Amino acid sequence: MIKHSRIAFGFIYFLLVLISGVVNAQGGLNFEAIEIETVQLEDNVHILMGGPAQGNVLVLSGPDGVFMVDSMYAPMHDKLVSAIGEISAEPIRYVVNTHMHGDHTAGNDALKAVGAQVIGQENIRARMAALGPGNLPDLQYQDSITLHMNGEEILISWPQPAHTDHDSMIFLKNANILHVGDIPSNLRYPNIGIDDGGSVDGMTQAARMVLDLIDEDTRLIAGHLGPIVPVIEMEAQLAMFAEVSERIQAMIDRGMSLEEVLAARPTADFDEARSAGAITPERFTGLVYTDLSRRQE
């Protein structure tokens, strides 16, 4: 059994790291220098990429208007709208948030101001409202909702608690394109929303569910980097999750503190392949340690 004092210290230490990381994630970005890269997947399906620290935005365009996934940080609004304007002159009608984190939702209010409605899983609104009144979704669903726009059937579904307790996956059925948000997919260390209902087990189960759902022609869109994720990368992420979790759990069972686990570098043999992401090995280790430790309470 883990002593409560050690768990409490671990939580306090990690919350400080997490808060610092959130502040630096937005405050440390030079938004004026960031350019949006537009990647075309189909005649009317594009991905807008603003670098590894912001979520990839999926855009479905056509005569019914523009459907989007995620909204980046608020200072990117003008560039985001400009990039969409290069794709379509139709109004932005819907934005789906894959989850609450600011790199995916902080531009919501600016998009709502130009007429968009924001959709999210039902748990997201209370989570976001607890942080303040801004950027809240207008429309909520429980398990899934289907939209029909621009000749596409869009399935928005909840994979159960994973990265957070309110993740959304967005599947363009006709195009066979699946946006998985921040469910583990490409080769980076993923963030785990340990204070937002997320867990190691939930993320692992959701990634396995994705692998069971897709076929060999499905194009996976990652929340970051990519944008197209080879299935082999998602499989590699699952293997990494299992191995690192097992190592850290064994260290917890031996009574090791967070500082001792960080010093042991349980991710060392995976670090080089995952250096492109915004989550450092130390932050990822702290997330896994914190989540696994609270099982022992």
Model confidence pLDDT, tens digit, residues 79-131: 999 999 999 999 999 999 999 999 999 999 999 999 999 999 999 999 999 99
- Residue 207 pLDDT: 96
Confidence of residue 232 (pLDDT cuts 50, 70, 90): very high
DSSP 97: -
CB contact at 8 A, 288 and 248: yes
CB contact at 8 A, 171 and 189: no
Confidence of residue 186 (pLDDT cuts 50, 70, 90): very high
Distances in whole angstroms, Cα of residue 54 to Cα of each of 48, 74, 182, 201? 10, 11, 11, 24
Parse the chain into domains and list their residue ranges: 4-294
Q: Report the alpha-carbon distance of residue 22 to residue 148 in Å, rounded.
A: 36
Q: Which CATH superfamily is domain 4-294 in?
A: Ribonuclease Z/Hydroxyacylglutathione hydrolase-like (3.60.15.10)
Residue type at position 51 = G
CB atoms within 10 A of CB 91: 12
Of 2 and 155, the one with more pLDDT: 155
Span 65-92, average pLDDT: 98
User: What's the token pair of residue 7?
Assistant: 């768990």
Pick from 122, 272, 287, 273: nearest CA to 201: 287
